[in-house]
Amino acid sequence: MELDDIRKEIDKTDEVILESFLKRMELSREVAEQKAKNGLPIRNRTRERQILSSVQAKSGEMEIYSHRLFNTLFELSRSYQATLNNVQGTISGIIDRSLLPVDTIFPQTGTVACQGVEGSYSQIAADSMFRRGTPVFFKNFEGVFGAVESGMCEYGILPIENSSNGSVKQVYELLRTRNVNIIRAKRLFISHELLVKPGVNLEEITEIHSHEQALGQCSEFIKSLGDKVKLFAEPNTAMAAEAVSKSPERGAAAIGSSYCAELYGLEAVGKDIRNSDNNYTRFICISKEPKVYPGADRISLIATLEHRPGSLYEVLAAFSALGVNLIKLESSPIVGQNFEFRFFLEIEADVHDRRVRGMLTQLERTCSELRYLGNYKED
């Protein structure tokens, strides 16, 4: 057969497949009605295994592809049934109370918890989100979470990821264990400078203080200074600048922003010292209560999956079935359990979409643990 003839046969076959698929989804609708009437769960693993076993036995060398095809069909069917039956779960309840009227504007005032001291990048991010906000500073990330949980502060700003140096693992872990919600995110361009006391030359520097992320983001510049320079990790870039301003050591330097130089009476002997010109840090805004503001298009999740083949595939298949774009997937080992992991995920989606809510409810039942962190907009 010529290529055109083969394609004509494929077109005919596709028509049959589409007709069969639509018929199958119609039957899924009838199944959903019966399950709702009899109080049965959407998923029936036993029946799925039986079908897959039969399909594999009939598929010969195409067995692996048939297996994938039917797994996708199952996921589409479950998602459709969950939407039809408006299946509820813990996450559904959180979403219900978090949806705000369409004319709600993100606040510009409030008390905002930040890690570090005046001049920190967290404070700069806070100022960009809350034009008339009042920053309150805490020594560490735990303090920011605690202030929001307790109601001392209405909001909290935290760095979560840098384009050059990766995720801030401690923040992700605190998101998993603390009772807060993400309501906004901001990408902030980070331009590091090497700050010293007035009159100190680059050749005189013997030690550099900064946050470990900033030290990593400027590693090439630091390496060019030679082995004589010692590195000191500080809780925050602004705290590093403050420490250098008070240090008796003439050769002490800090990596921080030009804002820090102005605040703490320092001078820049090196500008734009970052490794990459594309150096951005993502900051999140957390609140005690879940809130979904208009324009929210990103959802963050933490999933703990069963330790078995295909468990991660089932989650990814659920996204694929709805055409949901997966932005981030990162694993983290579960302490105390050998070679078992939880996953941090971010997807482009909106909980106003009933299909997305149905998918999340279904995933909540599929995963060992599913933590919904919020639906928010990122600027």
Tokens of 173: 């872990």
Q: Which two tokens stand for residue 226?
A: 């030679």
The Cα–Cα gap between 92 and 111 comes to 29
Q: For the chain, how many helices (H) and strands (E)? A: 13, 15
Active-site choice (83, 237, 281, 366): 281
Q: How far is CA 91 from CA 97, 98, 189, 356, 375, in A?
A: 10, 11, 33, 11, 12
- Distance of alpha carbon 113 from its chain centroid, rounded? 20
Is 13 a residue of the active site?
A: no
In sign, the C-alpha dihedral spanning 144, 150, 155, 160 is positive
254, 111, 144, 94 alpha-carbon torsion, rounded to 10°: -140
∠ at Cα 96 (90, 102), nearest 5°?
150
What are the beta bridge partners of residue 330?
Answer: 344
Q: What are phi and psi of 96, to 5 degrees?
A: -55, -40
Sheet with strand 207-210: strands edge to edge: 230-233, 207-210, 252-256, 193-196, 267-271
Amino acid, single-letter form, for residue 298: R
Count Cβ atoms within 10 A of the Cβ of residue 64 and give its class: 0-12 exposed, 13-18 middle, 19 or more buried: exposed
Which of 283, 319, 343, 344 is catalytic? The answer is 283
Cα dist. 129→41, 188, 277, 289, 341 in Å?
43, 11, 24, 18, 34
DSSP 335: T
281 is catalytic: yes
**Which residues are annotated as catalytic?**
281, 283
